[in-house]
Amino acid sequence: MQELLTMSRKEIDRVGVIQRVSDKQMTQGEASRIIGVTDRQVRRILAGFKQYGPAGLIHHLRASLQ
């Protein structure tokens, strides 16, 4: 079953960066500077990405309302 994901431009831009961190082609520190968040926030985003894929990058408040 496929689901339709609505992502903001910011979330779409993060997918590539977080994918590179997941593939160990980029460090969490580099990613934090690129997307403008802390290293800790990158770890949280990465955990959601690993568990849910790109859907894990969608802001949870907006996702729960749909």
Query: What is the reported pLDDT for 50?
Result: 92
Pick from 62, 30, 61: nearest CA to 46: 30
Per the model's pLDDT, the better-predicted residue between 20 and 60 turns out to be 20
pLDDT tens sequence across 25-58: 999 999 999 999 999 999 999 999 999 888 888 8
* Res 17 pLDDT > 80: yes
* Res 64 pLDDT > 70: no
Alpha helix (H) ranges present in the chain? 9-22, 28-35, 39-52, 60-65
Q: pTM of the full predicted structure?
A: 0.77
Query: What is the reported pLDDT for 12?
Result: 86
